[in-house]
Amino acid sequence: MRNMQKLLDKERIMQKKTITIYDTTLRDGSQTAGISLSIQDKINISKILDWLKIDVIEGGWPGSNPKDDQFFEDISKTDLKHSRIAAFGSTRRKGVTCDDDQIIQSLVKSNADIITIVAKTWDFQVTKALNMSLDENLELISDTVSYLKSKAFEVYLDAEHFYDGYKENADYALKCLKAAEQAGADMLVLCDTNGGTLPNEVSLITQKVTSLVDIPVGVHFHNDTGVAVANSMAAVEAGAVSVQGTINGYGERCGNCDLITFIPNAVLKMGFDCSSAQSLEHITEVSRFVSEISNLPHNEHRPYAGAYAFAHKGGIHVSALQKDTRTYEHVEPKLVGNHRKVIISELSGKSNVEFKAKELGIEIDKELNISKDVLKKIKDLEEKGFQFEAAEGSFELIIRASTGEYKPFFKFISFRLITEMFGQGHLECEATIKIEVNGQIEHTAANGAGPVEAMDNALRKALTKFYPEIQNMHLSDYKVRVLNEGEGTGSSVRVLIDQTDSKRHWGTVGVSQNIIEASWMALVDGIEFMLFKNRNK
C-alpha cells in the first residue's frame, strides 16, 4: 500500500500543473455580516497575503465608495514583494461610452495591475436584472474589455452566474466568453454566483469551456451548498488555472471558496503547484491574523488551520499516535504551520497525559505513577464541570504541581466586592483583595466596569510590585457556560478565560455555583501560569 502511495505521489509530481491564487477577501470577503474593514485593515491584510505569496489581491471596487478609492491610492505606495493588485468593476452602462462612464474611469485611475470586470452571462439575468437585449449585453462586454486593453491593463472577465447560465442556455453563456476573448481579455473567470452548482457539473462544464477557448480560465465559487472548495478542486482538475476565493471562506451569505483549505488541498493532496506552496507553513498564522483583523472568532475546527484540526481526545487514538502519527493524521501539522494537540478530558487515558506532558516538555517518571494520579484528578474535576480542552494553562499547572515543579506564587487570603449604581445607568464595581507574597501581606482595592474587571485590576495592582511583568498581560476573552440549566439561578457555571502577553496566549478555567468564584479561579490560574512560564523558560 505504501509503495502504491509513493507511485501515485511520483506520478503527481511528474504531472504537476501550476495554478494561480486570486484573493478577494477585501471585496467579496468584506461583504460578510459583521465585517467592517478600515483602510488600514485592508492594507495590513494585503501585506500578509503578499507574505503568503498570493498571486492577485482584489482590493475593492474603485468609484463605489471613498474607502476603496483611498485603498488603491495607499496600496500603490506599499512595497509588496509578490502580489499584484486587482481592481473590480462592472461593464460600462448601457447608452454611455467608456470615456464617459464614471465607474470605468475610476478603474482606470486606480492604477491597479489588473482590472476585473463582472458581466452577466446568464440570459435570464440579462433580460430580467439588466432589462436589456442579449446582443446589447454582448456589446457592453466587448466594448469594456477592448477599452481597458487599449489603456494597457491586464483584464479578467468575471462571468457572473456562468454555471447557471450555461445549464439554461449554453450557447449564449459561451457567446459572452467569446466576446470577451475576442476583445482581448487575458482570463475568463467562470463564476457560480448563487453557489448552487455541484462538483460533477463543475467538472463537465469547466472541461467543455477550456476546450473551446484559447485563453486561461479561472473559477469563482460561492459556498451556498457547502462545496465551494470541492468545486474549485474539480475545476482545476478539469483545466482551470486560477482559483478565486477568500481567507477563511468569508463572503456574503454562506461565503466563498476558503483558500485556507483549498491551497493545502491543491498542493498536498492534488499535486498542483502555486506560489503559496512556498509559504504553506504560514497558512495557519494568516488564517488567524485575518480573523483577528476582521474581528470575528476563529473557527477552531477549520481544516488545517483550526486549533482542533490536529486534536486528539480519545485514549486509543493517542496511544496509536505515539506509535505512528499517520494512524490518525492525514498530513503533518507543521506543513501548514499548525501543531498536534492532545486533549485531556473524561475520554482520556493514561497515554493522553503522558503524550501531553511530553508535548509540554515535562518528563514524567513512570515509576511514580504521576500520570495515573493526574488522570484521576482531571476526571474528578471534569465530574464537577471543569473542561480542559481550551484551558491548557490550568492543565499544565496541575501536571507541574504533581511533579513538584510548580508552587503558587502568592497565597490568597480574602476578597470583597461592592457594586454601586450612580445615577441613571452608571454602574461601578470595587474589589478589595488581600493576598500574601513571600510572607508580606498586600491589601489593596481597584475599580472596574464589572466585578471580573474589578477583581482583575485589584489582583494586578496587588501583585505588580512583586512581579512587574504582570503589566504585559491582559485578558483577551471571557466565556461563561451554564452547566446544569435545570437548577435555574443555582446552576454551576464554567468560566473560560484567555489571557495574552506579547509572546503567547493561554487559557484557564474555573467552575463554581458562584460566577465570581469561578472567574477568580480562572484569573488566578492565568496569572500563576504566566509567572511560572516566565521563570522556567
* pLDDT tens column, 208-241: 999 999 999 999 999 999 999 999 999 999 999 9
- My answer on whether 93 and 230 are in the same domain is yes
**Is residue 472 in a domain?**
yes
- My answer on whether 149 and 107 are in the same domain is yes
- My answer on whether 483 and 437 are in the same domain is yes
C-alpha distances (whole Å) from 13 to each of 16, 270, 272, 282 are: 5, 9, 8, 22
Question: How many domains, the chain?
Answer: 3
**Secondary structure letter of residue 441 according to DSSP:** E
How far apart are alpha carbons 457 and 474 in whole angstroms? 10
- My answer on whether 231 and 351 are in the same domain is no
DSSP string of 129-165? TS-S-HHHHHHHHHHHHHHHHHTT-EEEEEEETHHHH
**Is residue 205 in a domain?**
yes
CATH code of the domain covering residue 283: 3.20.20.70
- My answer on whether 270 and 163 are in the same domain is yes
How far apart are alpha carbons 192 and 20 in whole angstroms? 18
Highest mean pLDDT among 254-258, 330-334, 496-500: 254-258
Q: Rg of the Cα trace of the chain?
A: 28
Domain that holds residue 273: 18-294
How far apart are alpha carbons 268 and 41 in whole angstroms? 30
Helix axes 170-182, 134-150, angle to 10 degrees: 20
How far apart are alpha carbons 439 and 437 in whole angstroms? 5
- My answer on whether 269 and 333 are in the same domain is no
Question: Average pLDDT, stretch 269-284?
Answer: 96
Q: Which of 250, 265, 294 is the last residue of a domain?
A: 294
Q: What is the pLDDT of residue 405?
A: 84
* pLDDT tens column, 354-370: 666 666 666 666 655 66
- Set of cell numbers at residue 446: 481597584
**Is residue 383 in a domain?**
no
pLDDT class of 351 with cuts at 50, 70, 90: low
Question: Average pLDDT, stretch 248-256?
Answer: 97
- My answer on whether 327 and 181 are in the same domain is no
Q: Which of 376, 397, 432 is the last residue of a domain?
A: 376
pLDDT class of 536 with cuts at 50, 70, 90: confident
- My answer on whether 323 and 469 are in the same domain is no
C-alpha distances (whole Å) from 262 to each of 115, 252, 429, 480 are: 24, 19, 49, 34
Q: What is the pLDDT of residue 297?
A: 77
**Is residue 395 in a domain?**
no
- My answer on whether 83 and 147 are in the same domain is yes
- My answer on whether 289 and 320 are in the same domain is no
Q: Which of 376, 394, 427 is the last residue of a domain?
A: 376
**Is residue 5 in a domain?**
no
Q: What is the pLDDT of residue 321?
A: 55
**Is residue 404 in a domain?**
no
The region of weakest confidence among 50-59, 103-112, 186-195, 477-486 is: 477-486
Q: What is the pLDDT of residue 2?
A: 42
Highest mean pLDDT among 176-185, 401-410, 476-485: 176-185
Question: Average pLDDT, stretch 427-433?
Answer: 91
**Is residue 70 in a domain?**
yes
pLDDT class of 12 with cuts at 50, 70, 90: very low
- My answer on whether 325 and 258 are in the same domain is no
**Is residue 429 in a domain?**
yes
pLDDT class of 6 with cuts at 50, 70, 90: very low
Pairing relation of β-strands 474-482 and 440-448?
unpaired
- My answer on whether 145 and 208 are in the same domain is yes
**Residue 347 in this model has a pLDDT that exceeds 50:** no
Output the average pLDDT for the chain. Answer: 88
pLDDT, greater one: 263 or 289: 263
CATH code of the domain covering residue 510: 3.30.160.270
Q: Where are the alpha helices (DSSP H) in 213-296?
A: 228-237, 259-264, 283-294
**Residue 493 in this model has a pLDDT that exceeds 80:** yes
